[in-house]
Amino acid sequence: MKAQDAWSAPKPTALLVLADGTVIEGRGVGALGKASGEVCFNTAMTGYEEILTDPSYAGQIITFTFPHIGNVGTNLDDIETVDMEGTTGARGAIIRTDITTPSNYRSGNHFDEWLKACNIVGLSGVDTRALTAFIRDKGMQNAIIAHDPDGNFDVDALKAEAANLPDLEGMDLAKGLSTAKTYDWNETTWAWQEGFGEQTQPAYHVVAMDFGVKRNILRLLAEAGCRVTVVPATTSAEEILSHKPDGVFLSNGPGDPAATGEYAVPTIRALVASGLPVFGICLGHQMLALALGGTTQKMHQGHHGANHPVHDYTTNKVEITSMNHGFSVNAGSLPENVEETHVSLFDGTNCGLRVKDAPVFSVQHHPEASPGPQDSHYLFARFIEMIENHKASAAK
């Protein structure tokens, strides 16, 4: 053996192959095999389990900028997909340092074992901040993430596969993640030494359209006093109204809002015309904008993190929010009767709207704080206030 060979780097057991031909080597973690998706980055320092199980990440591979991912293990309480036996949102995970032994009393499983159980392919030992800078310069690219403990990869074949992957633009992913049947939800938020509660005396009834809803969003609706009926993404306005709700919620979700809007926008437009209070989040916000006459666009790098400052024009306050989206609403496309209520202080993109003459509003960010700050929890109270005002008007 030559002297320099003794100091050669170990054979990589995982690769990230980008659509432009860039190859990034590292150590494989999680599931074996390969997965494809759009590579984005998330700047949150905590909440990796909530992030990876957020259905809004369907079709994406997540680069974590914070170096220590997996160090507190995983547990069933922090899963955000409603179907806990189903697939997670993200297709792959890219992390900086090796996964350490869990050091948190809430941990029920090692992160690596959890990744395997969730069929998430992982890559560690990567300079994730350099990859983040690359994405900021080049935009979010499609890629293949592959894990083989023997390090046997056909790199040319992986490059060709990555180059031919379809873009998220024009792709409807919500239908595949939405519930297949209507169900009721009454679980409330988690409390110290008590766990999750149950809403047994609801004062309101809300129908939630499921485009890939997160568990904690439903919990906060129940915590606010709602009996929640969750319906599939393709449910008609007539069926939703047959439940006689006090309000309608439009959930978060993945993919291109214009593609999902092919079937959802006419429904949303009819729900707005019904006069009921309507509250939308994330994909629900984008499709509400489409229903009101606005347009959406694909973003260069998207917003993914738990530290995004947003200005609420209705209160003139700045709140720190959790974001996860790759499309945005074109504020200039909104009609005159629709007011922009929130804006990102990072890049000035639209983060909220309301209809001036109807109890209808939405936000781009995730106010349920899973993970992230709780600055935007007031939005659920705002929805309830609209419901109460609408019920009072109807009673006159």
Q: Would you call 205 a catalytic residue per the annotation?
A: no
- In the set 38, 49, 319, 368, the catalytic residue is 368
The dihedral region occupied by 50, where left means phi > 0, alpha psi between -120 and 50, and beta the remainder, is alpha
Q: Would you call 368 a catalytic residue per the annotation?
A: yes
Q: Which residues contact 385 (CB under 8 A, 6 or more apart)?
A: none
Q: Which amino acid is at 291?
A: A
Distance CA 95, CA 80 (A): 20
| Per-residue three-class SS string for 115-151 | HHHCCCEEEECCCHHHHHHHHHHHCCCEEEEEECCCC
**What torsion do the CA atoms of 263, 269, 270, 272 make, to the nearest 10 degrees?**
140
Look-up: residue for tokens 């800078």? 133
Phi and psi of 176, rounded to 5°? -75, -15
Task: Identify the CA nearest to 37 among candidates 214, 187, 162.
Answer: 162
Which residues in 352-365 are b (16+ Cβ under 10 Å) and which e? bbbbeebbbbbbbb
- In the set 40, 118, 282, 351, the catalytic residue is 282
Look-up: residue for tokens 């319906």? 231
Distance CA 116, CA 310 (A): 36
Task: Identify the CA nearest to 64 among candidates 125, 14, 23, 15.
Answer: 125
Catalytic residue positions, numbered: 282, 366, 368
